[in-house]
């Protein structure tokens, strides 16, 4: 049987551009994973890893114009957004190089013998080691930042793990280009090319998650695809950690006082956030609770004006376009749902932004309206009009887990210790990131970031963005009674590497 071709497709026309690869067979997946596994020792030295990450960033920056052009041809995300996304990606690689240098992620804890403990404590020294080969499933909507050289790859390499990437079919050509930049950077530091494997094809993705030498996986994509891979990871003879980001509604609550104070501004801000990147962000606000009063009406007026002004846009592929058109039509067809600006098909290859409204009462109980509680990828949001706080709370209590939850409050609420804190406490169980008076789109790369949340937002309690993402790819090991000469340098008393650590209960920095 001939190998299935992998085509690069232009989303602006739906036409095939060129064949860039073939889908990997089971044997090819095995070869790729085995090659990655053989490279582990080359990543053992933290100095080498940090240098590799910086060279990778330099290589990507040097190839910027070429990469942005290649990405735009396959994703239609436009050169401005893509240039920014590439800068974010190289910033991220360098940030992880800094994290590798600092070494706090090793989480060194040293306990000397303590006869007063029950039972007595022997000499114990603990730190974290890499897991092995990490499988990374690329996202469609971030061809740089959540793909071949994205956060999962950067954090997995930083932790000392070789990576095998399953390319997303929406940008296979770019994936090959980026992988070759990473491999050239690796070669500069004596790291074999196997450190970055790349496979194409749906079946190859399943083979990958089932491969005995794959030790963990990261995924960014749909609930359906992610759950299938999560299930496969859990069903293995040796189950492995599967860190999947599957879907999120990203609820926003606008209080009555906030709507009264600055409803117009909030409406305009919401329009910008929900249409940004043609609504293709995982943190797009997909459900917005707005008071069913005059101030809420004012908010909707400004939302209507701003969304009406939005140009039609091209989605990442035509399947997504079809799903969007069908999804908004089905939602809009529910009795009582209105479409102040109707979302749907634009030109032959584009979609138009819009939004729907529904009374909060419709969502109080399980039923047909639950469709409105499912993510709809693309430039649409659902505005839920609530009569009072109890109605708003009832809707929030019915939501699945989210990446983000946002509240817009008035200046008085923000200053009042009681009410504001109470609202924050109500939103915290819903999400991994909680915002006040902001918009969830835009996920900063920072140590305090958390990009994850209760299922289906993520399948684990970890983050895919920010410094702590490195924790995904490590496991602790404790050494007991090991003579000094046998200890790794990281665990020696004299601390030759100057690592932050917890030493007999004292936090040393």
- Is 245 a residue of the active site? yes
| Part in contact with a second copy (CB under 8 A); list of ranges 87-95, 183-191, 302-310, 368-376 | 87-95
Closest CA to 439 of 270, 257, 256: 270
Rounded-to-integer distance, Cα 360 and Cα 341, Å: 19
Q: Which is nearer to a second copy, 21 or 67 (CB)?
A: 67
| 501-503 vs 506-508, strand pairing mode | antiparallel
Binding to a second copy in span 297-316, by CB under 8 A: none
Q: Which is nearer to a second copy, 185 or 240 (CB)?
A: 240
Rounded-to-integer distance, Cα 347 and Cα 341, Å: 16
Rounded-to-integer distance, Cα 88 and Cα 149, Å: 11
Binding to a second copy in span 432-451, by CB under 8 A: 432-438, 442, 444-450
Closest CA to 71 of 154, 165, 140: 140
Give the active site residue among 85, 245, 375, 391: 245
- By the 8 A CB rule, do 419 and 451 touch? no
Binding of a second copy by 19 (CB under 8 A) = no
Binding of a second copy by 230 (CB under 8 A) = yes
Binding of a second copy by 121 (CB under 8 A) = yes
Q: Which residues contact 335 (CB under 8 A, 6 or more apart)?
A: none
Binding of a second copy by 483 (CB under 8 A) = yes
When binding is defined by CB under 8 A, the residue of 22, 129, 206, 312 that contacts a second copy is 129
Give the active site residue among 282, 375, 391, 426: 282
* Separation in Å, CA 486 to CA 109, 250, 480: 17, 50, 11
Binding of a second copy by 211 (CB under 8 A) = no
Binding of a second copy by 84 (CB under 8 A) = yes
- Is 256 a residue of the active site? no
Q: Which is nearer to a second copy, 188 or 475 (CB)?
A: 475
Helix axes 79-102, 46-62, angle to 10 degrees: 170
Q: Number of residues interacting with a second copy: please give it, by CB under 8 A.
A: 86
Binding of a second copy by 200 (CB under 8 A) = no
| Nearest approach, Cβ of residue 476 and a second copy (Å) | 5
| Nearest approach, Cβ of residue 470 and a second copy (Å) | 13
Closest CA to 21 of 168, 139, 127, 222: 168
Rounded-to-integer distance, Cα 478 and Cα 387, Å: 56
| Part in contact with a second copy (CB under 8 A); list of ranges 64-72, 174-182, 188-196, 476-484 | 476-484
Binding of a second copy by 110 (CB under 8 A) = yes
Beta bridge partners of 137: 166, 219
- Tokens representing 129 are 């080691």
Q: Which is nearer to a second copy, 13 or 461 (CB)?
A: 461
Would you please indicate which residues are annotated as catalytic (active-site) residues? 245, 282
């Amino acid at each position: 049987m001939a190998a299935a071709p992998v085509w690069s497709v232009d989303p602006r026309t739906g036409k095939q551009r060129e064949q860039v690869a073939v889908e990997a067979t089971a044997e090819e997946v095995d070869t790729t994973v085995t090659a990655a596994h053989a490279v582990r020792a080359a990543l053992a030295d933290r100095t080498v890893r940090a240098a590799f990450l910086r060279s990778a960033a330099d290589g990507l920056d040097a190839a910027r114009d070429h990469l942005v052009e290649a990405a735009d041809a396959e994703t239609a995300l436009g050169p401005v957004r893509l240039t920014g996304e590439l800068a974010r990606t190289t910033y991220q690689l360098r940030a992880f190089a800094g994290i590798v240098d600092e070494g706090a992620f090793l989480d060194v804890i040293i306990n000397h013998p303590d006869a007063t403990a029950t039972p007595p404590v022997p000499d114990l020294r603990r730190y974290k080691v890499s897991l092995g080969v990490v499988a990374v499933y690329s996202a469609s909507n971030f061809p740089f930042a959540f793909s071949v050289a994205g956060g999962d790859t950067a954090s997995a390499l930083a932790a000392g793990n070789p990576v095998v990437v399953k390319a997303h079919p929406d940008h296979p050509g770019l994936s090959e280009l980026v992988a070759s930049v990473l491999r050239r950077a690796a070669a500069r530091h004596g790291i074999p090319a196997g450190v970055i494997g790349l496979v194409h094809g749906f079946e190859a993705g399943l083979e990958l998650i089932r491969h005995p030498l794959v030790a963990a996986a990261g995924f960014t994509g749909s609930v359906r695809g992610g759950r299938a891979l999560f299930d496969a990871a859990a069903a293995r003879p040796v189950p492995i950690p599967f860190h999947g980001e599957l879907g999120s509604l990203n609820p926003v609550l606008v209080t009555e006082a906030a709507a009264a104070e600055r409803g117009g501004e909030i409406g305009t801000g919401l329009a910008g956030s929900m249409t940004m990147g043609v609504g293709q962000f995982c943190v797009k606000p997909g459900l917005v609770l707005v008071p069913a009063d005059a101030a809420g009406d004012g908010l909707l007026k400004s939302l209507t004006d701003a969304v009406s002004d939005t140009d039609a846009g091209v989605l990442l592929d035509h399947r997504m376009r079809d799903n969007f058109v069908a999804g908004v039509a089905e939602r809009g067809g529910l009795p009582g749902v209105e479409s102040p600006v109707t979302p749907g098909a634009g030109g032959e290859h584009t979609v138009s932004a819009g939004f729907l409204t529904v009374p909060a009462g419709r969502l109080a109980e399980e039923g047909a309206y639950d469709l409105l509680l499912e993510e709809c990828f693309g430039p649409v949001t659902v505005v839920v009009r609530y009569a009072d706080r109890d109605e708003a709370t009832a809707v929030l209590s019915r939501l699945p887990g989210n990446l983000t939850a946002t509240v817009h409050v008035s200046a008085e609420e923000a200053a009042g210790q009681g009410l504001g804190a109470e609202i924050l406490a109500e939103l915290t169980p819903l999400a991994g990131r909680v915002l006040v008076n902001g918009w969830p789109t835009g996920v900063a790369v920072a140590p305090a970031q958390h990009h994850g949340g209760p299922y289906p937002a993520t399948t684990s309690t970890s983050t895919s963005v920010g410094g702590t993402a490195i924790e995904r790819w490590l496991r602790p090991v404790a050494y007991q009674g090991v003579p000094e000469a046998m200890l790794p340098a990281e665990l020696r008393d004299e601390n030759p590497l100057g690592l932050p650590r917890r030493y007999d209960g004292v936090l040393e920095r």
